Structure 1
């Protein structure tokens, strides 16, 4: 039995391609092994508060003397961290909003990136080292090298940095572009390419969901299949 923590953050509840692709992954993961569990958190439908106190950036043993973040705020953070630590695989839907993360996803990240709990520090190791994290990133336009949008995706690098470099997770990226090609006249000539990318992303999501879902649940994090390269 393996557990998937599935996060969605798109504000579009009906036409979102990031939601469609994460759903394909989660369905394949669930079907791949008897007893597999999917914990779904919709960060848009049930948004988290912004981090209410700066001391919550740190585990209790690293906070300044006298820090009192509040019982309710600390309990919420502990619940979110426990969800992450209890999952064998993390799946995150990441639509690009104004070239960056949806604020709902940023709030979750601020709650769970905690030196001393989920990131290494003087008082802790790195409990998430090697654990798979799959990012499904969707972008409305064309972000290819040489285009005006080259380098303007400021969401994916942040997640790769925090989840991967800081927290030690093994990050894979399924990236889709041109999701607005059918709605924006200036992108209409690339609509067919956008549809091909969407179909390929669905295929990759199902493949990776099945691979991770069928991996051993021995809790030896990182002993599962190698992450896919960025698409």
Structure 2
């Protein structure tokens, strides 16, 4: 039975582009995988507690060696880790905040990046290797190759690095929706056609990727 783990992290609700596009992916995936299991986490409305020293150490030690503080910390991390391990496809909805990822998603990575998931080098195999990862982003401006703000994109390279260290970069797809602020910022109004075209391409991409899962 295929399992989809879907994570949203936008602070926005109805007006969130990432939520809109990941929801389209989910709808298509569930239609194509009627016997599949769907797991959803909304980090934007239900954030995970920040990792502290006890949480980090708990991810490094055998479970039987944990003290009381570490066991409490592990009780937060363990469900997240189990969800990730059980998933065949991981869908991340990631808006760009201040050129990078939302802090609530960083906390999720801090919790699931444990010793057992780390791989020694980019070519070695790990517990998570072989899973499929789809990252849906929304960016208020344009950060693609050749654009004036390309060098400000700390979102995509950072996510690639995080996913690579736990082996989730082998079957990785990014879907970008750019210039999303064109419809809400008057000075960017001229870029509405670019924003609309980018969103349309993102929708087409997630529909294709969902059916290929």
Equivalent position SS for 1:130 = coil
Secondary structure of the residue aligned to 2:29 is helix
**Which stretches of structure 1, 4 residues or more, deviate above 2 A after TM superposition?**
65-70, 144-148
Q: Structure 2: any 5+ residue segments left out of the alignment? A: none
* CA distance in 1: counterparts of 2:55 and 2:21, whole angstroms: 36
Q: Normalized per residue, which structure has more helix?
A: 2
TM-score when normalising by structure 2: 0.89
The aligned residue for residue 94 of structure 2 is 94
Query: SS in structure 1 opposite 2:206?
Result: helix
Whole-angstrom distance in 2 between the partners of 1:95 and 1:133: 16
TM-superposed deviation, 1:68: 6.4
**1:60-115 Cα distance to aligned partner (Å, 9 max, x none):** 149xx987653221111111100100000000001000111101101001000112
TM-score, normalised to structure 1, is 0.82
Q: Which residue in 1 is equivalent to 2:20?
A: 20
5 Å-filtered alignment, 1:82-161, equals 82-115=82-115, 117-120=116-119, 126-161=126-161
Where structure 1 has 5 or more consecutive residues not aligned to the other structure, the ranges are 213-231
Distance across 2 between alignment mates of 1:67 and 1:37: 34
Instruction: Output the CA distance in 2 between the equivalents of 1:66 and 1:195.
Output: 52
Task: Name the structure 2 match of 1:168.
Answer: 167
Q: Over aligned residue pairs, what C-alpha RMSD do you find?
A: 2.0
Decide whether aligned partners of structure 1 residues 68 and 99 sit closer, same or farther in structure 2, where only a CA change above 3 A counts: farther
Aligned residue pairs total: 205
TM-aligned CA deviation for residue 161 of structure 1: 1.0
